[in-house]
Amino acid sequence: MLEVRNLHSFYGDAHVLHGVSLEVNSGEVVALLGRNGMGKTTLIRSIMRLAQPQVREGSLLWNGEELMHLTPHEVASRRIGLVPQGRRLFPSLSVVEHLTMLKPASAKHGWTVSRVLDMFPRLAERKNHRGNQLSGGERQMLAVGRALMIDPELILMDEPSEGLAPVMVQHLETIIADLGRTGLAILLVEQNLYSALAVANRFYVLETGKVVHAATAAEIKENQASLLRFLGVH
């Protein structure tokens, strides 16, 4: 499980995360909600140990191990996958290369190219297309497939529904729910509240760099109004 404790992250002098603490247990889909600029992406980038933001305080425990001193690829090698904001596919790599770059095509265990392509038949039809020749939905599928190829126990998904047509958003929700049922933990950053409600077991609301509200799906089912209030929807 992932335990984020009292995380303080900075971009230069700008103090973006003010002591964020949260947990993601194995097999859980946890949604991180909040409006633009509240620090959701900063949190994801902090967990991945990317060069920016700078984390000046706090701890990131993953199955008991401190991630703070690792490089991003070392974090990934601890089986934490990333579906970044804006997909960030590699324009000069084909669909298949996005998958095989992380694991040889001959690999038989865990997630394989054929298993990912079975899950996303649209990608199978376009396997020799390059990352920048795909539609928005296909790009998102490939970003998810790329994250799966490291056989993750946890996937960090940063606004996967952003810019997708409603039918694609629904498809994505099905995929996230299916992955959650396989025992994969998912930390899902979402602006689309209803998309998050459809898949998540637990919710955190982030506001100006702090967790201001935490709730389980059951609690929200009983009292959706409180969540909406924290999100400023009502």
Partner 1 sequence: MTLAGINLLQILNGLTFAALLFIVASGFTLIFGLLRIVNLAHGALYLFGGYIGYTVSSVTSSFTAGIFASIIAVALLGLLIDQGLVRFVRGFVLREVLLTLGVAYVLDDIALVIWGGDTFSVDVPTLLQGAVHIGGVFYPKYRLFVLGLGIVVFLALWLLLNRTRLGALIRAGVDDPEMAEAVGVNIRRVFLGTSMLGASLAGLGGTIGGAFLTLYPTADWEILVFSLAIVIIGGSGSLVGAAVGALLVGMLDTVGQVLFPQFAYFVIFGPMAAILAFRPMGLFGRAT
Instruction: Give yes or no for a contact between 34 and 10, defined as CB atoms under 8 angstroms apart.
Output: no
Q: Phi and psi at residue 11, in whole multiples of 5°?
A: -105, 105
CB of 139 to partner 1, least distance (A): 13
Nearer to partner 1, 90 or 213 (CB): 90
Of the two residues 73 and 234, which places its CB atom closer to partner 1 in the complex? 73
Please tell me the count of residues contacting partner 1 according to CB under 8 A: 24
Query: Alpha-carbon dihedral of residues 6, 86, 93, 136, nearest 10 degrees?
Result: 140
Query: Of 24, 31, 113, 147, which lies in the binding site for partner 1, with binding defined by CB under 8 A?
Result: 147
Q: Considering only residues 22-81, where is the footprint of partner 1 by CB under 8 A? A: 48, 50-51, 71-73, 76-77, 81
Rg from Cα positions in the chain:
17
Report if residue 150 touches partner 1, rule: CB under 8 A: yes
Count of residues making up the chain = 234
Q: Which is nearer to partner 1, 158 or 211 (CB)?
A: 158
Contact 104, 118 (CB under 8 A): no
Q: Closest CB to partner 1 among 36 and 92?
A: 92
Instruction: Give me the least distance between CB of 73 and partner 1, in Å please.
Output: 5
Among 97, 162, 207, 219, binds partner 1 (CB under 8 A): 97
Nearer to partner 1, 51 or 167 (CB): 51
Count of CB atoms within 10 A of residue 52's CB? 11
Q: Are strands 80-83 and 154-158 parallel, antiparallel or unpaired?
A: parallel
The residue within the footprint of partner 1, chosen from 82, 116, 188, 220 (CB under 8 A), is: 82
Residue 219, token pair as written in the block? 């609690």
Q: Minimum distance from CB of 53 to partner 1 (Å)?
A: 13
Instruction: Please tell me the distance from the alpha carbon of residue 127 to that of residue 150, in angstroms, as a whole number.
Output: 19
- Cα 185 to chain centroid distance, Å, stands at 10
The label of the residue with tokens 């394989």 reads 112
Positions touching partner 1 (CB under 8 A) are 48, 50-51, 71-73, 76-77, 81-82, 84, 88, 90-93, 97, 100-102, 104, 146-147, 150
